[in-house]
Structure 1
């Protein structure tokens, strides 16, 4: 997989429009956790969501794929490919914390 660049990003609002500012995710054990939608964007036609727990704004965030179910509803899916996850995570960091231009 090739690296993503900021020029490829299309900011979206579909997840927020469908679910609001927060979403609830359920883990394998059935535990539910609320996350705020920090950002959502598409790269090369694939949607991604950046989620943070409200009480942990400055800690790790979750990077998930936004997929459209057969009925047209939106779902969040885990990114199983480590390279894809790393590329999206690095891209979000680049978009959120742009490096200062050094002249």
Structure 2
């Protein structure tokens, strides 16, 4: 179930604003726009998009977690099924779902 209540989904935006800068494995930094925050099956997720990804209509999904001090961090989703569920939930939130009555 996707929860889209603003008070529960603003964690990442409260910490970083509308954009977040991430550093890749190669050490290069890239700016991503926070497209959405979702709560799915008890986990929080962020949908991010760089300017280059926007050109290709692609997104990246990350799990949003808080470290012991309460700071918000992004974790890469390594499970392909989990990533697909998050991407589908994001699409459903944008375009609606054919599965809904």
- 1:9 maps to which of 2, 6, 19: 2
Superposition pairs of residues 50-89 of structure 1, within 5 angstroms: 50-54=47-51, 56-57=53-54, 59-89=57-87
For 2:20, the equivalent position in structure 1 comes to 23
**Superposition TM-score, scaled by structure 2 size:** 0.84
For 1:94, the equivalent position in structure 2 comes to 92
Deviations 1:48-80 (A, max 9, x none): 000011354352011000011121100001001
**Superposition TM-score, scaled by structure 1 size:** 0.82
8 Å contact kept, 2:22–2:31: yes
- 2:41 maps to which of 37, 40, 44: 44
Moved over 6 A (4+): none
Richer in helix (by share): 2
RMSD over aligned CA atoms reads 1.7
2-side partners of 1:69 and 1:19: how far apart?
15
Aligned residues: 94
Structure 1: stretches of 5+ with no match in the other structure: 1-7
